[in-house]
Amino acid sequence: MSKTITIDGKIIPFEEGQTIMDAAMAAGIYIPHLCHQPEFTPHGSCKLCTVKVNGRNCSACTFPAMDGQDVLSETEELISDRKKITQMLFVEGNHLCPGCEKTGNCQLQAVAYHLNMLDNHFPLFYPDREVDASHPDVMIDQNRCILCTLCVRASQQKDGKNVFAISGRGINKHLIVNAQSGLLKDTDLEATDQAAHICPTGAILIKRTGFQVPIGERIYDHKEIDQVSLETEHVKHGE
Amino acid sequence: MKQFIQGIAENSHYQATHLLQILRQVQSRYHYIPGAAIEQLSGLLNIPRTQIIGVVEFYSFFHLIPRGQYELLISDSITDHMLGKKSLIDYMVNKLGVAVGETREDGVVSLDNTSCTGMCDQGPAGLVNGYALTRLDHSAIDKIVELVNQQKPLDEWPVELFQVDDNIYKSGLLLNQQIEQGAALRSAFKRGIKETLKEIDCSGLRGRGGAGFKTAIKWQFCSEEQQTERYVVCNADEGEPGTFKDRVLLNSYADQVFEGMTVCSAIIGAKQGFLYLRGEYLHLHDKLQSILDQRRQNGLLGNNILGAGLDFDIEICLGAGAYICGEESALIESMEGKAGIPRNRPPYPVTQGYLGKPTVVNNVETFLAAAAIAVNGGDWFANIGTEKSKGTKILSISGDCASPGIYEYPFGITVQTILNDCGAADVLGVQVGGPSGTFISNQEFERKLAFEDLATGGSFIIFNSSRNILDAVLNFTHFFAHESCGFCTPCRVGTSLLKKQIDKIVEGHGSAGDIVALEELCQLVKNYSHCGLGQTAANPILTTLERYLGLYESQLKEISFEPGFDLDGALETARRMANRYDTGAHLAQTESEHE
């Protein structure tokens, strides 16, 4: 008899070592997330995947599944609060979707649509952030960084490098790169690195590819992020 | 510089875990962390430069750009403000000729604010190159300005500037009598280690940092872990504004605290312990080091302690200005030479703590109590206090009272009794447990200090009726925004939004919907944040909204919408550039102002 948890009343099995997110995705249940990708060590920072486990809020991507857990995910309260957390990410940076080449392929935008976010709700911060276009093939637009650390983890865990890191504290946190000059061109990043492609927003972009796929034919133009996520993010933990 | 960096790296055995200690020395020598030092350390410690930059930019006491040879920091705790901090820092700005947050052009001095330095009973307080300054007033500042301008070395400054007093006004079970050196260990060995754990269990001792986890259970869990390499950590990162009892305990009872740690090591089977001392208590460092030396000489630390076969030693780690490091997993990260970002839990430190090994982290006061319990037995402690909160609690009392200082009471004491004892009159309310705790009004003074009623880590700030509660709320809310580590969205963005929203209301730009929006935001930050900092950051607002809604409402304008900024103020730059100051160059904020 395998162990199970219930998510919104649905009984789903899990294997020892799986997180609630792993178990949910394996069972075809989408829990919104931005800082999580199954291939990398879970981070638990964006808090979009917050679920109620036996009455307590937990991050589904880091919290271990344990036999008999009663998990609530798609409640009115959680959906509404996930939307507010997404709005926080929007006002914190400078996210101008209509002018961004990542539009339609952007997970932040897609999650916002999925959660029916219609405005920013909170006052905008308008932070003064920089663009680093020094690298011949890759650019960083700090305005769109949501500090998810996927690039940090991809560089360490997949590319065997250490190109990115998060520095600073609190609202001053920011992405830095591993070069004495502080510029991307002086790092060992290559356009083929996974770290250059992992960004869920438009903060790290491959140059000269921006509009190869026209608007209207992009990933989230015809599918919602829940469907795309379940189709493409394969759970590898515990295998 | 190359030689200097090489030397300190060598002294640290090229261990990346010592990064904070190394950077403290670099900052102290150069008054910033030069890029060349980062490059060299990256090589010597074999860590990426990004880790070093990440640490430098995380801790308030490290800087990438040069500060003055005299780095002056003024404590920004609400208690310092109540003692006239604002006018004092303005006076300093004038006298020194340097703005807050800046370094003077000649590079001699820099001035800035810093979070509570733990001198609330003897403020306004500050730090100069990390060393505590107390009881600052105009004459002290005149003296400091003179010394700075003469560029007198710190060790030639008059000692009274650095005078730190214990101010113990009420002693109880623990403070009345310090145990004899070695007594707790002798008792523990005589009674037996397992039996000693039983005594601590039956004493009912719960963690004194505020969370109140049962100490014996934590120690037992750790001792039962499979990994045999284990650690004891004493959390002396006393950062909660209004708390300073650990400073006093380490100044006058340190030997007993170290003994408590050693008893813990015997119980859990640890060979190495650490005292994580907040950077603001640098003045205690040498004294503590010499107490450790003395204990080594007396066979109470080191190999084969008291001939009982116990090997254990204690190292001191200094913090560098980050409140979040009081959170136990952030503290462990910091000890490992990283930014103090709380870990995901589970696993808990007792399973995977320092370097991934089972670790007990306890507050200074907890170890002090454990040592006394090892000598006097569990009943001695359990007979005092309440059913759920055994023993006594050491309080740091500050604010509006005749005798601010240290008071030890049995748990279950009423707020009113405390107020009577410390000479507080005409009291409006008390902030119990610091900003992350609860504000109680003068209708609640019969409430009791205990885990089951008012839980507290020891901070007790008294406000009399001349004070505006919103000043405190504003100060606390800014504090949390400044100290948020920034790891998770709800706290990183939420604490800054709370700051904006409370500023808007207090500055008189709020309208009817703003209080609802404020409360909604509070709940979001509280319910979704990653750790205790975010989960309690909204407490100053929530606990005062609950009690003083009218006060908040009185700040609002009577219109249904008010922009979050000052329209006319925003035009100031444009007016200056156009050199126009006529009425036509001004905008009214609301229709009614037009009329």
- Taking only the tens place, the pLDDT of each residue in A165-205 is 999 999 999 999 999 999 999 999 999 999 999 999 999 99
Q: Where does B70-165 sit in CATH, by number?
A: 3.40.30.10
Asked if the C-beta of A44 comes within 8 angstroms of chain B's C-beta atoms, the answer is yes
Torsion sign (Cα): B362, B363, B364, B369: negative
Whole-angstrom Cα distance, residue B315 to residue A71?
Answer: 43
- Closest to B426 measured CA to CA, from B399, B446, B388, B460: B399
Output the pLDDT for position B557: 79
Which of A49, A74, A99 is a domain's end point? Answer: A74
Backbone angles phi, psi at B442, to 5 degrees: -70, 5
Output the pLDDT for position B587: 80
Whole-angstrom Cα distance, residue B498 to residue A213?
Answer: 41
Output the pLDDT for position A239: 37
Answer yes or no: is A235 within a domain. no
Instruction: Decide if A92 and B493 are in contact by the 8 Å CB cutoff.
Output: yes
Amino acid sitting at position A80: S
Give the fold, CATH level 3, of B2-58: Arc Repressor Mutant, subunit A (1.10.10)
> Are A40 and A102 in a shared domain?
no
Q: Which residues contact B192 (CB under 8 A, 6 or more apart)?
A: none
Q: Which CATH architecture has domain B392-467?
A: Roll (3.10)
**Class of the CATH domain delimited by B470-553:** mainly alpha
A9: its two tokens: 């009343």
Answer yes or no: is A234 within a domain. no
Output the pLDDT for position A235: 55
> Are A66 and A100 in a shared domain?
no
Whole-angstrom Cα distance, residue A165 to residue B51?
Answer: 7
A with B: how many residue pairs have Cβ under 8 Å apart? 110
Which of A12, A40, A74 is a domain's end point? Answer: A74
Beta carbons of B401 and B295 less than 8 angstroms apart:
no
Query: In B, which residues are within 8 Å of A81 by CB distance?
Result: 524, 527-528
| Residue of B49, B481, B524 lying closest to A84 (CB–CB) | B524
- What are the angstrom distances between the C-alpha of B4 and each of A205, B41, B57, B268, B287? 41, 11, 22, 39, 25
Residues of chain B with CATH 3.10.20.600: 392-467
Output the pLDDT for position B561: 65
Output the pLDDT for position A238: 40
Instruction: Decide if A166 and B54 are in contact by the 8 Å CB cutoff.
Output: yes
- 59-78 of A, contacting B, C-beta below 8 A: 59, 62, 64
> Are A216 and A107 in a shared domain?
yes
Residues of chain B with CATH 1.20.1440.230: 470-553
- Sort residue B192 into left (φ over 0), alpha (ψ -120 to 50) or beta: left
Interface test with B, best of A167, A181, A183, A186 (most B CBs within 10 A): A167
Output the pLDDT for position B511: 87
ipTM over 0.90: yes
> Are A136 and A213 in a shared domain?
yes
**CA-nearest residue of chain A to B338?**
A167
Beta carbons of A191 and A206 less than 8 angstroms apart:
yes
Neighbours of B595 (CB within 10 A): 6
| Residue of B486, B489, B524 lying closest to A46 (CB–CB) | B489
- Three-state SS for B516-546 is HHHHHHHHHHHHHCCCHHHHHHCHHHHHHHH
Strands lying side by side in the sheet with B70-75: B102-103, B109-114, B70-75, B126-128, B131-133
Interface test with A, best of B33, B41, B480, B487 (most A CBs within 10 A): B487
Q: Which parts of chain A have pLDDT scores under 50?
A: 236-239
Output the pLDDT for position A237: 43
CA distance A105 to chain B (A): 22
| Residue of B485, B489, B524 lying closest to A170 (CB–CB) | B485
**CA-nearest residue of chain A to B563?**
A123
> Are A111 and A201 in a shared domain?
yes
A183: its two tokens: 């510029």
Whole-angstrom Cα distance, residue A89 to residue A97?
Answer: 13
Which SS3 state, helix, strand or coil, does residue B110 take?
strand
Backbone angles phi, psi at A118, to 5 degrees: -110, -10
CA distance A225 to chain B (A): 20
Output the pLDDT for position B570: 83
Instruction: Decide if B500 and A123 are in contact by the 8 Å CB cutoff.
Output: yes
**CA-nearest residue of chain B to A163?**
B50
Q: What is the DSSP string of B431-467?
A: EETSTTSEEEETT-TT-BBSTTSB--SSEEEEEETTS
Answer yes or no: is A136 within a domain. yes
A10: its two tokens: 């649905």
Amino acid sitting at position B10: E
Q: Which parts of chain B have pLDDT scores under 70?
A: 559-564, 589-595
> Are A17 and A135 in a shared domain?
no
**CA-nearest residue of chain B to A77?**
B524
Which SS3 state, helix, strand or coil, does residue B485 take?
coil
Instruction: Decide if A45 and B50 are in contact by the 8 Å CB cutoff.
Output: no
Interface test with A, best of B344, B483, B519 (most A CBs within 10 A): B344
> Are A187 and A139 in a shared domain?
yes
> Are A110 and A210 in a shared domain?
yes
B70: its two tokens: 């005299």
Q: Where does B169-382 sit in CATH, by number?
A: 3.40.50.11540
Whole-angstrom Cα distance, residue A48 to residue A150?
Answer: 15
Interface test with B, best of A16, A84, A88, A120 (most B CBs within 10 A): A88
Average pLDDT, chain A: 95
Which SS3 state, helix, strand or coil, does residue A6 take?
strand
CATH number for the domain spanning A28: value is 3.10.20.740
Torsion sign (Cα): B552, B556, B561, B563: negative
Asked if the C-beta of A11 comes within 8 angstroms of chain B's C-beta atoms, the answer is no
B145: its two tokens: 């300005």
Which of A45, A74, A103 is a domain's end point? Answer: A74
Residue A142: domain span: 81-229
Whether the model pTM is above 0.90: yes
CA distance B296 to chain A (A): 39
| Residue of A168, A171, A178 lying closest to B49 (CB–CB) | A178
